[in-house]
Structure 1
Amino acid sequence: MKQFDFIVIGSGSAGSVVAERLSASGRHTVLVLEAGGSDRRFFVQMPLGYGKTFFDPAVNWNYRAEPDPGLAGNADHWPRGKVLGGSSSINAMVWVRGQREDFDDWRDAGNPGWGYDDVLPLFKAIEDNEAGEDAWRGRGGPVHVTELTRFVHPLCNLYLQAVQQAGLPLNPDFNGERQEGVGVYQITTRNGRRMSAARAFLRPAMKRANVHVETGALATRILFEGRRAVGVEYLQGGHKREARAGREVIVSGGSINSPQLLQLSGIGPAALLRDNGISVLEANDNVGAHLQDHQGINYTWRAKSATLNQLLRPWWGKMLVGARYLLLRNGPLSMSMNQGGGFFRTDPALARPNMQLYFQAFSTVLPKPGERPILSPDPWPGFSIGLSNCRPTSRGAITIRSTDPQEHPKIVANAFSTDHDVAEMLAAVKFLRTIAAAPAIAEAIDEEVLPGPSIRSDEDLIEDFRKRSGTVYHPVSTCRMGPDAATAVVSPRLKVHGLEGLRVIDASVFPNVVSGNTNAAAIMTGWKGGEMVLEDNA
């Protein structure tokens, strides 16, 4: 049986960072268990390749949520990374931290050390920002952040002008002094390749003699002696194996896998565990509860002139952009589909933005079933403006279906299950049409394709966004952090309440979802969590 100081379950956005932090001094041995395989795949490393990995079972868990009344009964596709780097290896790479108030809310909920002023130095230490260092941004860190302003499609510049005409200020940095406004997204790439957590943290750590990474290793149960976690049982190559941790077991499986593993290990809602024949080690109704996720939708227009559709769809265009990428590591394949973006308030009376914008200089109205055709867009010139809610009030849950660790858990999103979420989304989609009517971009539009000009009434707009909205892949809070086991799963130091030698360090511990993409905050959580482990094991 293998013996290590620390076992990290999951090599995703947080787990890769935890492994690097714990192994940096050379004093501790670290085992990383990853259910997926290597990230050394072309479509993982090529930034726009995430269109190919969206359904690829070789790198993707391919979860499916339960049919959701809030989404007109649709069963939403939930991609999550099953590969070194986790979801940071298949995501859209947008680097947004969230708002100051998000982290101050975490602190004020009884989590000292998690306020914005506490985590800002960590964000800066993580970054190697191409735009330069200032009061908010860092240089020299492991995660290279690319500035795309000079590379965006010309239509993106019209979008930026149009949103300013619609009333938002230009914002050169959504992670700077303020988030509100319109601008170009910064993304996690370097020299035309994806900068995943594996590339930034785990790969360097794997060069150390005290780090051991097992791929194809599905954690099935946390092992305990009394109430102390002492190891992990896992499946690999059809065989059941065990590894022992002399100091701590750290669960970094993400917002779906982490609560699933805790429940399989006897930690969770007592009735759920008993119904599945699992002995209750620690009853806690919060394990798997409080699921929060951003919901998004695109509006699409036919343009009067060529968009990226005309470059990415034909065979000769694919050859052209492919050759450019292989030779120069630049061009459309080196970027995210979300070039422009922004944050706005659906009501001027709100204290801070509650909606996020995305601009895409291409369209995918006519997808094939089971395909996300980023690399095969529509045959006509099209573009899309999308949005997602920043702080939804709807709550869902993750629960096991059986004792089989290979059976996907039940995902109940409960999207748009509150009047608040419906009302703000209705106001938000109306703003998309305000943008499209602004002179800068109106002159470039031939017609609205989706949802189409016939969809005008509030009732029709709500029906449309229920039918066409879906996750933007930011699930959090299913093992949320808080000082009291009555309302949380882990303490402010990320220790599982009521047990010893066990922590959860990933986005599932967020007390509330951040206002924007979650990858940056997940990486920061891995960094801070790793520091806490070292402090408590000094």
Structure 2
Amino acid sequence: MTSLKLPIPVSGAEALSSLASFVIDYVGGDSHLSRRVGLGAAVTLLALVLRVITSGRPKRSAIQRDPRKIGKVVGELDTEVDFDEYDIVIVGGGTAGCVLASRLSENRNLRVLLLEAGDSSLNVLYSKIPAGFSSILETSRVFNLYTMLQQNTGGRRHFWPRAKMLGGCEPNNSLFHYGNPSDYDEWARLGGEGADAWAYKDFHKYFLRFEKFVPNRSHPGVVEGEHGSNGPIEVGFHGYHSVFSTRFIAACGHVGIPSRADLNTHHGTCGVAKLMTYIDSRGSRVTTESAYLTPTVLSRPNLTVAVNASATRIIFDTTGPNPRAVGVEFASFRDGPRFYVRTKNEVLMLSGVGPEAHLAEHKIPVVASLPGVGEHLMDHPVVDVALAETSGNSLNFLKPRSVRHHFQRATAFLTYCLTGKGPLTTNVAEAAAFFRSDDPVLFAPHMAPLPTVEDSTSGSNSPDLELFVTPVGYTRSGNGLLPNIDSFGLHMTLLRPTSVGNLLLKSTDPFEHPSINPNYLSTEHDLAVLERGMAVVSRVIHTSPLADIIDHTAADKRLGNWLPEASPKEVRAYVRGNVETLYHPTSTARMAPQSEGGVVDARLRVHGIHGLRIVDASIFPTIISGHTAAPVIAVAEKAAELIVEDLALSGSVV
């Protein structure tokens, strides 16, 4: 039997070749499956997939793959050229970078260059299919990073994938969630002078600016005035809704978590609900590339998008009283030639300035000593629990391990191509409950008292725990070995950890992956709060109607069916052995006063350096109590506004 792994095409020719191979293997590789699918269906499948891949493909007028048409080879800078100077250079075409490139190039007087280490995601089939994100992992489309050994999680190294394509990590994340309003009020308190404008009442407009909320009759109760209607990113309740999420919402209600129609309002996020998604009405994943770098945007003469261009360093002018960022060096590959582009105004990226001692260790000249760079790394740890189920609705076939799984996956794929619906449009994390670990309704008198721990939340109505459900069971980010039976998953997330780590250099090689130390579970607070969360998991497992489709006789310890009867010591060991990342690293270049370890000010300018700003999740003063994609898009929307304001004040743009 040929392994069913969908192709990841990068061009029209490659798409045709790889899809043809896929159909031939799939139809001809197993006579048992051939009888079911049939050659006619296979041909239809091929045509439909080609239509999916090519639909919405932008004109490539702004996409540039030849670095010599962007900048000059280092060493040839004495030659005057007219194509290597830009007003704005954006390093990184991720979630924020695509937003910035689109918004800033709206002003035709600004010449904008976007540098991206990867390529477009629009020809990557798995980035368009909502359930396909896991198939992108461990490919060349991703920076396959690993943490240092974590002493508090059994000495394990944790997989930390970061997308290497336009649109960034959004292809791996379809959850649309603000976080709690008090999170942004906390940013206003922590961000330093001028940070008042980051409070929710002011910052909320940037969410509205990018949203295009599409109502859904199956999910009534959403107040449309809470959401934007004309933004570039379609959000709503499109996508597959499994029986697990329906039963999960009901069970959470029975244990004391109130049901909500919408978790993204000024009332806060506590409650349980179906999650909104970045999936459009056609069943396709929406990213900042597909939403912001449209054919119209890419046809702008003042925008250049350089792909396969990895930034290797920022060039500084140190002749004045403060260093100024004046250019960026980049390369297409490690041993390739270095190219240089100049900027008249600003570079937008995470720079190499940082802790003086750390720079000296690697013999890097100190441009500006900023001890906060790379520090205060925060992430959301999640504990995965896979449960044996009896309904027959598990989507375990997304990771096929049998002939039946392969046939189910093929059927789902054909359904998706024909209708844009079906299991492959699952958000995976379909519904979630947000709650507080000190909620007296939820915890007392149902559990024994736990040690008093500090309140790490951003406000009295802000959660510190999230429990979400998935229609497929997995552990260890999908790398855990589970029995080959039908299962689904419950996943307990610590939203407000007190453990912090750092992100440091391993060498001066810009292509070498950094040293990542999230320092998971290094405080008693984090363990105690997660243990409280696991008590809720145990209650939900035994609460109807979810309990009615769980196989409570399953004894395999790799599953979590035994956890409700586990001792506190066993629960703690399970937490340590199964905690993983939720892919939300933040705060390594946090917005705060420099005296308090901050790296950027309230206008996202790097302290002590002219012409350099940072715009991504690293500027979060502290991690939010929710998912990070929507806040990053809102940060980029606000940053674009700040940049244009500052350039207008300086007379650089009109």
TM-score between the two structures when normalised by the length of structure 1:
0.93
Q: Distance in 2 between matches of 1:295 and 1:310?
A: 23
Q: Distance in 1 between matches of 2:631 and 2:163?
A: 17
Q: Distance in 2 between matches of 1:525 and 1:136?
A: 18
Shift of 1:462: 1.1
Among 375, 397, 405, which residue is 2:510 paired with?
A: 405
The secondary structure found in structure 2 opposite 1:51 is: helix
Q: Is the 8 A contact 1:11 1:34 kept in 2?
A: yes
Shift of 1:334: 1.8
- TM alignment of 1:503-514, pairs within 5 A: 503-514=613-624
Match of 2:325 in 1: 229
Cα–Cα, structure 1 residues 483 and 310, in superposed 2: closer, same or farther, change >3 Å? closer
Cα–Cα, structure 1 residues 208 and 536, in superposed 2: closer, same or farther, change >3 Å? same
Q: Distance in 2 between matches of 1:348 and 1:160?
A: 18
Which runs of 5 or more residues in structure 1 are unaligned? 252-257
Among 385, 392, 398, which residue is 1:306 paired with?
A: 392
Shift of 1:485: 4.7
Match of 2:39 in 1: none
Match of 2:438 in 1: 347
Runs of 4+ in 1 over 6 A off after TM superposition: none
Q: Is the 8 A contact 2:384 2:474 kept in 1?
A: no
Shift of 1:378: 6.2
Q: Is the 8 A contact 1:248 1:501 kept in 2?
A: yes
Match of 2:111 in 1: 29
Match of 1:93 in 2: 174
- TM alignment of 1:257-276, pairs within 5 A: 258=350, 262-263=351-352, 267-276=353-362
Match of 2:89 in 1: 7
Match of 2:51 in 1: none
Shift of 1:452: 4.5
Structure 2 residue identity aligned to 1:509: I
CA-atom RMSD, angstroms? 1.9
Q: Distance in 2 between matches of 1:112 and 1:499?
A: 23
Q: Distance in 1 between matches of 2:514 and 2:406?
A: 40
Match of 1:102 in 2: 183
Match of 2:163 in 1: 81
Q: Which is further off, 235-244 or 466-475?
A: 235-244
Among 485, 489, 500, which residue is 1:395 paired with?
A: 500
- TM alignment of 1:45-60, pairs within 5 A: 45-56=128-139, 58-60=140-142
Q: Residues 293-315 of structure 1: CA distance to partner in whole angstroms, max 9, x if unpaired?
A: 00001222211220233664422
Q: Distance in 2 between matches of 1:348 and 1:534?
A: 45
Structure 1 residue identity aligned to 2:255: A
Shift of 1:24: 0.9
Which runs of 5 or more residues in structure 2 are unaligned? 1-71, 73-83, 216-221, 441-454, 649-654
Shift of 1:153: 1.1
Among 279, 283, 286, which residue is 1:189 paired with?
A: 279
Q: Which is further off, 230-239 or 307-316?
A: 307-316
Structure 2 residue identity aligned to 1:55: E
Structure 1 residue identity aligned to 2:600: V
Match of 1:357 in 2: 467
- TM alignment of 1:102-251, pairs within 5 A: 102-109=183-190, 110=192, 111-131=195-215, 134-148=224-238, 151-176=240-265, 177-190=267-280, 191-204=282-295, 205-226=297-318, 227-237=323-333, 238-251=336-349
Match of 1:255 in 2: none
Q: Residues 491-510 of structure 1: CA distance to partner in whole angstroms, max 9, x if unpaired?
A: 10000000100100111000
Structure 1 residue identity aligned to 2:101: A
Q: Distance in 2 between matches of 1:172 and 1:503?
A: 38
Q: Is the 8 A contact 2:238 2:279 kept in 1?
A: no
Q: Residues 408-441 of structure 1: CA distance to partner in whole angstroms, max 9, x if unpaired?
A: 1100110011111111001101110111111212
Cα–Cα, structure 1 residues 210 and 179, in superposed 2: closer, same or farther, change >3 Å? same
Match of 1:254 in 2: none
Q: Which has the higher strand share?
A: 1
Q: Does 1:469 align with 2:579?
A: yes
Structure 2 residue identity aligned to 1:235: A
Q: Distance in 2 between matches of 1:424 and 1:311?
A: 33
Match of 2:153 in 1: 71
- TM alignment of 1:281-296, pairs within 5 A: 281-296=367-382
Shift of 1:134: 2.7
TM-score between the two structures when normalised by the length of structure 2:
0.77
Structure 2 residue identity aligned to 1:130: V
Larger-Rg structure:
2
Structure 2 residue identity aligned to 1:93: S
Among 534, 543, 554, which residue is 1:438 paired with?
A: 543
The secondary structure found in structure 2 opposite 1:342 is: strand
Q: Distance in 2 between matches of 1:182 and 1:133?
A: 17
Structure 2 residue identity aligned to 1:360: T
Q: Residues 271-327 of structure 1: CA distance to partner in whole angstroms, max 9, x if unpaired?
A: 110010101110111000000000001222211220233664422211210001111
Q: Distance in 2 between matches of 1:134 and 1:324?
A: 31
Q: Residues 184-232 of structure 1: CA distance to partner in whole angstroms, max 9, x if unpaired?
A: 0111021211111111113453221111011111101100112110000
Among 315, 326, 335, which residue is 2:426 paired with?
A: 335
Q: Is the 8 A contact 2:213 2:229 kept in 1?
A: yes
Cα–Cα, structure 1 residues 380 and 293, in superposed 2: closer, same or farther, change >3 Å? same
Q: Distance in 2 between matches of 1:24 and 1:318?
A: 43
Among 485, 489, 498, which residue is 1:380 paired with?
A: 485
Shift of 1:133: 6.0
Shift of 1:484: 3.1
Q: Distance in 2 between matches of 1:335 and 1:11?
A: 26
Cα–Cα, structure 1 residues 474 and 360, in superposed 2: closer, same or farther, change >3 Å? same
Q: Does 1:414 align with 2:519?
A: yes
Q: Is the 8 A contact 1:309 1:378 kept in 2?
A: no
Q: Which is further off, 350-359 or 227-236?
A: 350-359
Structure 2 residue identity aligned to 1:52: S
Cα–Cα, structure 1 residues 229 and 334, in superposed 2: closer, same or farther, change >3 Å? same
The secondary structure found in structure 1 opposite 2:642 is: helix
Q: Is the 8 A contact 2:244 2:470 kept in 1?
A: no
Identity among equivalent positions (%) equals 31
Q: Distance in 2 between matches of 1:435 and 1:45?
A: 33
